[in-house]
Amino acid sequence: MATNLRKFKRFGSMFTSHSNHLRGLSSSPASSGALASADGPILQPAKSINLYTAINQALHIALDSDPRSYIFGEDVGFGGVFRCTTGLADQFGKHRVFNTPLCEQGIVGFAIGLAAMGNRAIAEIQFADYIFPAFDQIVNEAAKFRYRSGNEFNCGGLTIRAPYGAVGHGALYHSQSPEAFFCHVPGLKVVIPRSPKEAKGLLLASIRDPNPVVFFEPKVISFFGLSTSFWIGKLGTWVIREGSDITLVGWGAQLTTMEQACEGISCELIDLKTLLPWDRETVEASVRKTGRLLISHEAPVTGGFGAEISASIVERCFLRLEAPVARVCGLDTPFPHVFEPFYMPTKNKVLDAIKDTVNF
Amino acid sequence: MALWLAGMIRGASYYKKTLISITTRSSRAFASSGARDADKGSFRTPYMASATAFISRRFRSSVAGQQLDHFSSHDDEDKGQVRTLDFPGGRVPYTSEMRFLPGSSENRVECYRVLDDDGYPLSSTPFQHIDKEVAVKMYRGMVTLQAMDTVIYEAQRQGRISFYMTSYGEEAVNLGSAAALSSDDIVLPQYREPGVMLWRGFELQEFVNQFFGNKNDIGKGRQMPTHYGSNKHNVITISAPLATQLPQAVGAAYSIKMDKKDACVVTYFGDGCSSEGDFHASLNFAAVMEVPIVYICRNNGWAISTPVTDQFRSDGIVVKGQAYGIPSIRVDGNDALAVYNAVGAARKVAINEQRPVLVEALTYRVGHHSTSDDSTKYRPIDEIEHWKTARNPVSIFRNWVQRRSWWSDKQESDFRAHIRKQVIHAVQVAEKTEKSPVGSIFCDVYENVPPNLMEQEKLLKETIRRYPQDFPKDVPLGN
């Protein structure tokens, strides 16, 4: 913990005066599992903030604490279409915070080169739906840079931020949840915060992680989420609430929906936070306790990351399971504009699945 | 240098004959040829002039080889002085002078225009004859586009629809290009070309149904507003990701070529799109495949907040066309007649010569990028005002049309009032129309609905019956 404190102090002066708060939380309902055990979560009191502010603050700290960090992407210069980079170019200069031409493969390729030279390259893809022109750079290049060179080179300083998920009116191309594509790629880390509370710490942890990270920001919480505090996080799993009857696993904005469905039944709700590599031990330990598992995500059910969790838990906990693993996810269709409420894994869909699983 | 000069002199007569193209020709040369024809009493259209230029400047690798023969001296080779490199792509002259090509030429590529900012024809510029009927239809289309933008933008602000994108400032590119095409030409638009669909007879009500995503929307309410398409009108449905239509357009054009159709493919895109990999893939494919395609770039200065100075350092898009071996022209995108002429000429060349042509229209996005954007955060209001008033494409064209007595103040006010009423009526109708039934979420994913989707539809309907309060009321459950 002491080591961690020293590390966090380097994040910026605002942290140095809060060591009491930091220590005070070492015994909070902490996450468990391999990833979480290296660093505990640390609470940092703050004013009520939304997601853009949380992201903006994290980026500010990243620029402030490391002169070799750069932030760039389409429309980033004036503050970005989600306003996450507001004020950063003015404060840190146009050489460190800048617009790129409109070319996602260019943005990621550029970021890999920059990171490979020992910099922190924080690249923004305007919407996760538009990340696919960069798929080759991410999958074949960023993820394999270290492996293919025998660790002669790496692009661990790379973080790709992209807003993702439903937003109420985004339709086919402003709503997708493409996390599963990236969870199929050894060498990447995939991180998703569920609220402004986590976003700041998780983003900083992602920027400082010595591996390339794809960081998806739930758009819906950009607009609606407000938190009174945030966690200086670690790329691990988090048990949001403990319970005994069923384990619910999710990530991102879907956790809010899942949380609403928890009433009346003793649910253990787990925020995976880091999808790749994912904390199988924490989920397994929970399922051994509850005997039941439900996974929920917005992405289409077929081939979604829920399938991986389900398969792994069935492999490891088959004799302990008292019901089939349930998945409540998006439909196997593109994301339809006026039908968004039908497409979504709503609270009542989750609730029905919880009841069916518990009463199996 | 000496060798190069010698080659130049030997090749001079060839260059004189061939190097005139619409990308390099000065307006003076253009004007003088037109004037000469006028002297002879025949109205020679720029189409024909341009076509001649295109024919004589066709770069294939084999042709390039022949052309470069002008630079080589077989006599010199006999003496053991090899002056050309016989390269697989054609002969290339040697030079002993180390000279880098400059990043850009000294002078910017000129912008072809027909009318000045007050709608007067430039005296030196001949323009294509245009019928009264076509001109008035173009003008009415431009006004209709403005009316639609005004009413629908307001409807979005009132929360009646989720999203909208205006075409303010780009009415001339929309209607000028649309009028120069045949309805058989296949159009792959970006998203700021609704004027092309208007021209082709896509009804106001059809547009507004799409904005509301009701059951009469061709796209069944699945796409965001402004993402329309219509098979009947030969307009392939818009996709939000940028530049993806460009390589597809080449494939479509190849099909037209194989079918020997008297038509071409026309694809639209903005300055931002030209940075995407798909843009470059498309231009290169089109040049190599020799397909009848017209690229129309709306260079409106801004890709959301990104100015063209952050987008590229080339002289716009026009030089990129040339770099890929594609004849290219820059036009004043706020001059409907210039756009009409240039696109008409480009279309003729594309079809007659089975090759791509690129038109870069310089214009300005007077509106915000979309209803999700506030462009005053990143660009000066003065700049917007200037383009809205002094360079207004609708006013410029109106002045010209009205001066020919094809349009009057009375027609202006009557038509504007009439079209506004029509758009408002369309909104009222669309708003009252229910949405497509739940089943339309699941159809068209594949040609036939697969079993997993049948099962999901059944489950969804059960959920709707159990929790009707969770779902919008204007979506019928269906069977």
For A56-83, the pLDDT digits (tens) are 999 999 999 999 999 999 999 999 999 9
Active site residue A174: yes
Written as one letter, the residue type at A146 is R
Q: Is the pLDDT of residue B215 over 50?
A: yes
Cβ <8 Å between A331 and B213:
no
Average pLDDT, stretch B45-56?
40
In chain B, DSSP finds a helix count (H) and a strand count (E) of 18, 9
In this prediction, residue B129 carries a pLDDT of 79
Q: Which helix H or strand E contains A23, and what residues bound it?
A: helix A19-24
Lowest-pLDDT choice from A140-154, A191-205, B63-77, B169-183: B63-77
- Residue to mutate among B164, B209, B222, with most A CBs inside 10 A, is B222
Give the per-residue pLDDT at B40.
38
- Catalytic residue (one of A18, A60, A74, A104): A104
**In the predicted model, what is the mean pLDDT of residues B346-360?**
98
The mean of the pLDDT values for chain B is 87
Which residues of chain A lie closer than 8 angstroms to B227, CB-CB? Answer: 171
Angle (CA) B258 B260 B265, round 5°:
80
- How far off is chain B from A56, nearest CA to CA, in Å? 18
Mean pLDDT for all residues in chain A: 87
**Do B310 and A101 make contact, defined as CB atoms within 8 angstroms?**
yes
CB spacing of A333 vs B442 below 8 angstroms: yes
In this prediction, residue A343 has a pLDDT band, given cuts at 50, 70 and 90, of: very high
Residue contact A170–B224, C-beta within 8 A? yes
Q: Do A133 and B272 touch (CB under 8 A)?
A: no
Q: Is A169 on the interface with B (CB under 8 A)?
A: yes
Give me the CATH code for the A2-232 domain, please.
Answer: 3.40.50.970
- Considering chain A, tell me which residue range(s) the CATH 3.40.50.970 domain(s) occupy: 2-232
Q: Do B241 and A130 touch (CB under 8 A)?
A: yes
Query: CB B405: neighbour CB atoms within 10 A?
Result: 8
Cβ–Cβ under 8 Å, residues B67 and B153: no
Q: Is A291 on the interface with B (CB under 8 A)?
A: no
Which residues of chain A does B435 touch, with a Cβ-Cβ cutoff of 8 Å? 338-339
Mean pLDDT of A239-250: 96
CA torsion sign, A47 to A53 to A58 to A60? negative
From B277, which residue of chain A is nearest by alpha-carbon distance? Answer: A103
Whether residues B303 and A173 touch (CB distance < 8 A) is answered with no
Architecture of the domain delimited by A239-358: 3-Layer(aba) Sandwich (3.40)
Q: What is the pLDDT, as a whole number, of residue B127?
A: 66
Helix (H, G, I), strand (E, B) or coil at B308: helix
pLDDT at A278 over 70: yes
CA-nearest of A283, A245, A289 to A263 is A245
Contacts of A318 (CB under 8 A, 6+ apart): none
The pLDDT assigned to B104 comes to 85
Using DSSP bridges, classify how beta strands A227-232 and A213-218 pair: parallel, antiparallel or unpaired. unpaired
φ and ψ at residue A211, rounded to 5 degrees: -135, 155
Chain A residues whose beta carbon lies within 8 Å of the beta carbon of residue B455: none
- Contacts of residue B304 in chain A, CB cutoff 8 Å? 74-75, 81
pLDDT for B59 beyond 80 = no
Tokens of B92: 């290339």
Residues 67-86 of A with CB under 8 A from B: 74-75, 77-79, 81
The bridge status of strand A246-250 relative to strand A293-300 is parallel
Is there a contact between A126 and A81 (Cβ–Cβ < 8 Å)?
yes
Residue given tokens 């409109």 in the structure block? A102
Residue A137 distance to chain B (closest CA, Å): 13
Q: Is the peptide bond before A277 cis (omega within 30 degrees of 0)?
A: yes
| Percent of chain A whose pLDDT exceeds 90 | 78
Note whether B312 contacts A: Cβ–Cβ < 8 A: yes
Is residue B437 within 8 angstroms of chain A, CB to CB?
A: no
Task: Check CB contact of B467 with chain A, cutoff 8 Å.
Answer: yes
Asked if the C-beta of A223 comes within 8 angstroms of chain B's C-beta atoms, the answer is no
What integer pLDDT is reported at residue B17 of this predicted model?
A: 38
Share of chain B above pLDDT 90, in %: 80
- With a CB-CB cutoff of 8 Å, which residues 167-206 of chain B face chain A? none
Contact across the interface for B445 and A333, Cβ inside 8 Å: yes
Asked if the model's pLDDT at residue B54 lies above 70, the reply is no
Q: In chain A, which residues fall in CATH 3.40.50.920?
A: 239-358
* Residue A74 bears catalytic tag: no
